[in-house]
Amino acid sequence: MTQRSAFYRSILLLTSILSRAQAQSPPPTAAIPDIVLHGTIEPQKLGTHEILEVTVPPGIERMNVTLESPGFSKGMYLTVGLFDPQRYRGEGRAIFTLSTVDATGPYIAGPILPGQWKIAIGFNWVAPEAHGVYTLRIHLSRQLDPETYPVLNPHAAWYKGDLHAHTGRTDAMCRSQSGKNVPCPPFRLFEAAARQGLDFLAVTDHNTQAHFDEMRQDQVFFDKLLLIAAEEVTTVKGHANVWGTEGFLDYRAAETGFTINDLFDQAHRLGALVSINHAYWPFDGRCPGCGWGWSPITDFAKVDAIEIVNGYHEKGSWFQPPPGNGIPFWEAQLARGLRPTGVGGGDEHRAGEQLSRHDGVGIPTTMVYARELSQPAILEGIRAGHVYIRVTGPDGPEILLHAGPAIMGDAITVPSGSTQEFTAEASATPEGHIRLLVDGHPVEAPSPNPRKTSLPWRSDGLRHWIRAELLDSAGEPLALTNPIYVNWPPDPRPPTIVQKAP
């Protein structure tokens, strides 16, 4: 049997395996075996295409393709052209992904149609004496989200980022070449975030994933700025950021039927976190749907985070909220024994074009302690509450709170009658001071050192939360921490929602 006939037999075998798999209707979460095809590389194939055929089953959201071959240095240069049952999808790379909403390189995002796909292996160069074998590996996934994520930094650290930003795919504007106000290309936002020195940026356009394709393409260039796939789900009665999913999120929440709680469940099933945005804005016609109008029916146990500082302070805006305005809404949930993480969101709509001192990407900056700089690790850090906010931006002062080895976000047990010391330290206090709060109420903790304050706190055995703020001379927060939770009930949220099905 020649290698070529063996090769075609493998295609037939593969087709029959896939047909059997379809007939048996595997459960939707079952992993699909990779399609692996081999072929020979020979000088007589130079300047030709070898057409392979594979059967793609229904229900596929993403395709990852890898072509392994000896490579140009060994005298062999091959490309992969891709044709779905209806149209051409791109040619030219050896490693790429394509899905319903994004793709890399020259490949075109769009539905992964079931049926016969044709793959054209292009023998662009085969040196006269070159002989080898290529392997084409196709990984099919029923989930839209990638199963692996880039790690931009492998070290545990405090990472700085912005969890709320818009591009011209929805309502962000910036000046065109001739100075007109036009929808702003996503690349401009990424550049602005990079200029700010941010480590991560969640791009949260309204009710769309239209920005995901450019994010996927540009992540290679922004190899120090993690772009987090996100969406600001913009309902008729409030806005919620969803970080870490590419699946469809139904923004049509209503009082009955599919409610806001069902939307939160939908996001969690897709491996994402949800955060209520700028909830303190008035629920009136000035910014339709911007305040949180779902409070009476919201199951706040499903809420992972609350945006307590929003940076939307453009000149002429309807809103000029002082920093920290979201705190009462957040603390109302803490008082109920819940523990949504307090976060900041720049809500940038100008790609960093400075219009006022508050405007810009990363104002405020959310600092997250994470085991590495990757999307899953940042989400884990947010979920754990290992977060503080630099209100004035990425270069603003640091503030850290600890009680022994516990840091903000952690829960500790302090039995009745015993004393636990809480210490807050700031990197710089040019004119301000540190304030500690127990259950939202400031407590006196006089300290000779304006950069460090300790509170010996005597427990009554009941549930409390202790957090810290660094205030400027006018009493406005420059930085604020999440609480350390004392004698707190177990976290009601599912423990590992950022883990995905295989």
d(CA 485, CA 366): 20
Cβ proximity to Zn ion: between 340 and 483 the closer is: 340
Binding mask 347-386 toward Zn ion (x if CB under 5 A, else -) reads x---------------------------------------
How many CB atoms neighbour CB 256 within 10 A?
6
| CB 281 to Zn ion: min, Å | 8
Binding mask 36-65 toward Zn ion (x if CB under 5 A, else -) reads ------------------------------
In angstroms, what CA-CA distances link 484 with 355, 384, 401, 436?
Answer: 36, 11, 8, 11
Beta-bridge mates of residue 107:
none
Please identify which residue in 160, 188, 239, 268 interacts with Zn ion, judged by CB under 5 A: 239
Of residues 273 through 312, those in contact with Zn ion by CB under 5 A are 277
Cβ proximity to Zn ion: between 22 and 207 the closer is: 207
The answer to the question of residue 205 lying near Zn ion (CB under 5 A) is no
Stretch that binds Zn ion, among 230-238, 300-308, 363-371, 457-465 (CB under 5 A): 230-238
| CB 290 to Zn ion: min, Å | 6
Stretch that binds Zn ion, among 44-52, 229-237, 319-327, 351-359 (CB under 5 A): 229-237
Three-state SS string over 179-228 comes to: CCEEECCHHHHHHHHHHCCCCEEEECCECCCCCHHHHHHHCCCCCCCEEE
Stretch that binds Zn ion, among 225-233, 315-323, 351-359, 489-497 (CB under 5 A): 225-233
| CB 352 to Zn ion: min, Å | 15
Burial of residue 263 (CB within 10 Å: 0-12, 13-18, 19+) is buried
| CB 310 to Zn ion: min, Å | 8
Closest-approach residue to Zn ion (CB): 239
Q: Could you tell me which of 310, 304, 309 has the C-alpha nearest to residue 384?
A: 304
d(CA 454, CA 157): 24
| CB 164 to Zn ion: min, Å | 6
In angstroms, what CA-CA distances link 378 with 199, 236, 390?
Answer: 10, 29, 17
Reported as half-sphere exposure (CB side, CA atoms, 13 A), residue 313 has a value of 22
Residues binding Zn ion: number (CB under 5 A): 4
Stretch that binds Zn ion, among 41-49, 238-246, 389-397, 490-498 (CB under 5 A): 238-246
d(CA 159, CA 381): 10
Of residues 82 through 101, those in contact with Zn ion by CB under 5 A are none
Contact criterion met (CB below 8 Å) for 144 and 247: yes
Stretch that binds Zn ion, among 233-241, 297-305, 436-444, 480-488 (CB under 5 A): 233-241
Cβ proximity to Zn ion: between 109 and 290 the closer is: 290
Cβ proximity to Zn ion: between 342 and 409 the closer is: 342
Q: What is the DSSP letter of 300?
A: G
Cβ proximity to Zn ion: between 170 and 423 the closer is: 170
| CB 326 to Zn ion: min, Å | 12
The sign one gets for the Cα dihedral 67, 71, 76, 77 is: positive
| CB 239 to Zn ion: min, Å | 3
d(CA 203, CA 167): 8
Cβ proximity to Zn ion: between 83 and 251 the closer is: 251
Q: Which residues of 181-190 are buried (b: 16+ CB within 10 A; e: fewer)?
A: eeebbbbbbb
| CB 240 to Zn ion: min, Å | 9
Stretch that binds Zn ion, among 182-190, 235-243, 352-360, 373-381 (CB under 5 A): 235-243
| CB 294 to Zn ion: min, Å | 14
Q: Could you tell me which of 291, 303, 219, 300 has the C-alpha nearest to residue 267?
A: 303
| CB 271 to Zn ion: min, Å | 22
Binding mask 320-349 toward Zn ion (x if CB under 5 A, else -) reads ---------------------------x--
In angstroms, what CA-CA distances link 341 with 21, 58, 268?
Answer: 44, 39, 16
Residue type at 311? G
| CB 93 to Zn ion: min, Å | 34
Strands of the 115-126 sheet, one edge to the other: 49-56, 115-126, 76-83, 88-93
In angstroms, what CA-CA distances link 97 with 18, 33, 52, 106, 455?
Answer: 21, 17, 18, 10, 53
Contacting positions for Zn ion (CB under 5 A): 232, 239, 277, 347
